[in-house]
Amino acid sequence: MVWVPVGSFVMGDTQGQGQVDEIAVHRVEITRPFAISQYEITVREFGRFVKNTGYVTDAEIRNGCFMRGGKDWRTPAVDFSQEDDHPVVCVTWRDVNAYITWLSTQTGKPYRLPTEAEWDYAARAGTDTNYWWGNDIGYDKARCGKCSKEEKETGTVAVGSFQPNSLGLYDTAGNAWEWTASKYDMNYAGLEQNVAESSSTEGKRAIKSGGWLNFPEDLRVSNRGAIPATDRYSTLGFRVVRLKESSQ
C-alpha cells in the first residue's frame, strides 16, 4: 500500500482529446488521506482468498469470462496464461467485494475499492497530462495494444513490469482495467466521489486504466469505462484502498 495525501486536482479531460463523458472538467478535493495498492491485486493474492474461503466466482457460476473464451480467474482466456504475479482478471463487482470483505476481516482494517476520484487522483500523481509521464504513450511504458514496437495483444504481464508514477503506483495505465467503487454517470454528477453499496448491482460502475487489449488512447488517465456490476472480462481486475485512521 502507498499513502496518498490530501489535496485537489482537476478531473476530466485536461488535454482536449477525450470522449464525451470526459468533458465535464471540474476540480475535486480529496479531504482524507488514503492508502492504495501499489500493484493491481494478483492471481496469487486472489487465490489465497479462494483457498481460505472456498469462494466460487461469478464466471464459474455463469458460464465463463467475457472475451477470449476464458473460463474463470484461473484461466481467463484461451490464448494466454496467467502467472501468480499477474493481475487477477475475470472478476465481477460481487467477486471483488467478497475478496475485500475477507481481506478486511483477516487484517482488521477497513478496505474497499477506490472511488473514481481517488483512483484518478492517485494515478495522476500531481500531473495533468494524458499519462503520468506525459501526453504521448511512447514505447515500453505500459501494457496495451501498440504500446511497444513488437507487442501483440497477448494478455497481461506481471504487475510492476513498468516504471511507477511518482507516488510509487504501478500499472495505472494498461495491463488490466480496474473496478472502482463509484457508479458511472456520463457527467460525473458527484458520483465519482461516492462509494456505491457493495451488495447492490444496480446501475453501471466506472472502470479505469485501460487494459492489455486496448489502444493507447484508452489508457489516458481521464478515460472512463462503464460496465454492469455483473460483467466479468479477461481484461478487468482491481486494486484496493484503505482510509487513514486518526491514530496513524
Ranges of residues in the chain with a pLDDT under 70 are 151, 246-248
What's the confidence (pLDDT) of residue 247? 47
pLDDT given for residue 144 in this prediction = 94
Domain boundaries, the chain: 2-243
Give pLDDT, residue 44. Answer: 98
Mind listing the pLDDT tens digit for each residue in 159-204? 999 999 999 999 999 999 999 999 999 999 999 999 999 999 999 9
Cell of 173: 495505465
What is the predicted pLDDT for the residue at 246? 53
- pLDDT for position 154: 84
Q: Within 10 A of 187 (CB to CB), how many other CB atoms are there?
A: 13
pTM (2 d.p.): 0.96
User: What superfamily does domain 2-243 belong to in CATH?
Assistant: paralog of FGE (formylglycine-generating enzyme) (3.90.1580.10)
